Amino acid sequence: MNSGKYLFAQLMDSLPKHDFDRCVLKYQGNYRIRRFSCFDQFLCMAFAQLTFRDSLRDIETCLNSVKPKLYHLGIRGNIARNTLAKANQNRDWRIFADFANILISHARKLYIHDPLDVR
């Protein structure tokens, strides 16, 4: 039995949540949202990316198969294909683009002295 945090929760805890919240606030991503926040959407999409999910149905099935553990993964909202589709369609993509740029800048600072020939 697991006595600590799940690996996905540990990985997501290492991300700068205050920077993500600033991006959401900048584009008013959680305006008139009750249950499925931008952070829940980000966690679902990050989970899907890390587990190589192909479709919204695949994401929904995979996440709902571990429904009692979603809270421990950090996902607070209900996962439905329609909810994910509407969130992906209606939320401003710049929230996630700005957050990705923040993460890239953090990574560049960490690896500034490594000899990588990426320009």
What are the tokens at 9? 């929760």
Tell me what pLDDT residue 117 has.
64
Q: CB neighbours of 51 closer than 8 A, spacing ≥ 6?
A: 62
Tell me what pLDDT residue 119 has.
61
Contact between 8 and 50 (Cβ < 8 Å): yes
Q: Which residue type occupies 102?
A: I
pTM: 0.87
Helices (H), 1-119: 7-13, 17-27, 38-50, 56-64, 70-73, 81-90, 93-110
Tens-place pLDDT, residues 7-17: 889 999 999 99
For residues 65 and 58, what is the distance between their CA atoms, to the nearest angstrom?
11
Residue 39: pLDDT band by 50, 70, 90 thresholds?
A: very high
pLDDT at 1 over 70: no
Q: CB neighbours of 47 closer than 8 A, spacing ≥ 6?
A: 8, 53, 59, 62, 63, 73, 75
